[in-house]
Amino acid sequence: MLDVFQIADILVEKVKKEYKEDIAVIAYYGSYALGKANEKSDLDFFFIPNNPKGNEASIQFIIDGIGFDFWPISWEYAEKMASFEDRTTIIADSKILYVRSEEDENRFNELKKSIDNMKTGSENRNKLLDQAITELHKSYLFLYKMNKDEVKNSLTLMRVEAFNVVTTVLKSLALLNQTYFTRGWGQNMDQISNLSIKPDLLENWINNIISLQSCEQIKLTSEELVESVQNIIESQQKTTSEHQAFSDVFNGYYEEVKSNFNKIITACEKDDLYTAFFISIQTQTILSYFLGRAEHGVWYSDLSSYQIVDDLYHQFHFPDLIQNSNNLRLLKELVIELEDKFSKLLKSSGVKFNVFNNIEEFRSFIEN
C-alpha cells in the first residue's frame, strides 16, 4: 500500500525550503483523516497561502495509479467553509501537517472551533435555516431546466439535473440539521438516513431517481422531493421564530411605505404605466410578507407560495393593487383606499407614527 504520508513529507519539505513565508498551513482531510482509507485512497490535502506567491506551490500528480491534488484555499474561503457556506468537512475534519507560526495555527483552530459552535444554539440554528433556504433556491433552477424539451427527451440530461436537485436538497437538509456530510456523495447514505429532520420518503425518492427509466417520472419525483423539503423549511421557520407584537413588526413601516403610495398616485396622474405597475406590485407584496411576519411569526421566502400571504392581505379587506396595476384611474383610487385602511389598522394596533406638519414641528421633536 502506497505510503501517502511520505508524499506529504516531500511537499512539506519543499514548502519549508522555498515557501516558508508564503504558506501558512498545510492540512489533510477525507478518508485518511477519518480513518477510512483503502489501498486506492489518495491523500486529500490542501494549503492556505500567506500571500499570492504561495499559490505557486499547487501541483497535481499521479503516483502508482493514484491521483493527488495539492491545492490552495484562501483564508477567506476557509472562513466560508467554517460558516457552513461551502464544503465544511474540509476544515472540520482536517488534520494539520505543517504550520508557519503559532498565530496561523491558532487562527486555523479557531475556524474548527467555530464549526463545532455552529452545531448548537438557537442563534446559529436560525442562521443555518436561512442558508438552507438559500441552498434550496438552487434546486428550482434545475427543476426549470427539466421542463426544457431537450432534457425531457434525454435520460442522460434528465439524470444530470436530477443529480443536481438531489445534492442541493441534501445540502439544504444538512443545514437544517445543523450538520455537514463527512463523506462524499454515495458514501454518505448512512448519515443521510440518520438525519433527524428530513422527509419520510427521502430514501425512497432518491432510490426512485436513481432507478427510474422514465424522464417524466424522474422529473415528478424531483418535484415532490423539493416540495417536501420546502414544507419542512416552513415548518421549521414557525418553530424557531420568535413571535413579535403586531406593533413591533410594523413600527416605522408606514413612514417608509408612504413614499410608495405617493409614487403610485403620481404615476397614475402622469399616465406613467411602467412606474405604476412595478411600484404597486412591489408595495402589495412587501406589505403581504410583513403581514405574514406579524400573523404567523414567519418571514416567508419567495420559495413559499405567495398564496399564503396573499390570503392574509385579503383577510384585512385591503384592495388588490396587483390585479388592477394596469388600470391607472382605478389604481389611484385603490391606493388611496389602501393607505386609509392600512393606517387605521396600524393605529388601532398601537403603532405610533412620526408625522409632522412642518419643519418646525420636526425640529421641536428632534430637540426634545
Instruction: Provide the pairing of β-strand 23-29 with 44-49.
Output: antiparallel
Spatial separation of the C-alpha atoms in residues 351 and 116, rounded to whole Å: 42
Give the lowest-confidence range in 97-106, 133-142, 207-216, 357-366. Answer: 357-366
What is the mean pLDDT of the segment spanning 40-69? 94
pLDDT in tens, 250-273: 999 999 999 999 999 999 999 999
Q: Are residues 10 and 76 in the same domain?
A: yes
Q: Are residues 107 and 178 in the same domain?
A: no
Q: Are residues 257 and 330 in the same domain?
A: yes
Q: Are residues 213 and 153 in the same domain?
A: yes
Burial class (CB in 10 A: 0-12, 13-18, 19+), 124: middle
- Give 159 or 368, the one with higher predicted confidence: 159
| Grid cell 419542512 in the structure block, residue | 232
Question: Would you state the pLDDT for residue 157?
Answer: 97
At 88, which CATH number? 3.30.460.10
Percent share of the chain, pLDDT over 90: 79
Q: Are residues 109 and 19 in the same domain?
A: yes
Structural domain that includes position 260: 246-348
Does residue 359 fall inside a structural domain?
no
Question: Would you state the pLDDT for residue 246?
Answer: 86
CA distances from 275 to 267, 319, 330 (A): 6, 19, 15
Q: What is residue 179's three-state secondary structure?
A: coil
Question: Would you state the pLDDT for residue 241?
Answer: 67
Q: Which three cell numbers stand for residue 161?
A: 439535473
Does residue 211 fall inside a structural domain?
yes
What is the mean pLDDT of the segment spanning 4-24? 95
Q: Are residues 113 and 126 in the same domain?
A: no
At 126, which CATH number? 1.20.120
Q: Are residues 217 and 262 in the same domain?
A: no
Give yes or no for residue 84 having a pLDDT over 70: yes
Domains contained in the chain, number: 3
Domain boundary among 70, 87, 118: 118
pLDDT tier, 36 (very low <50, low <70, confident <90, very high otherwise): confident
- Give 347 or 304, the one with higher predicted confidence: 347
Q: 348-360 burial by CB neighbour count: b if 16+ within 10 A, else e?
A: eeebeeeeeeeee
| DSSP 8-state secondary structure symbol assigned to residue 243 | P
Q: Are residues 229 and 135 in the same domain?
A: yes
What is the mean pLDDT of the segment spanning 331-360? 94
pTM: 0.81
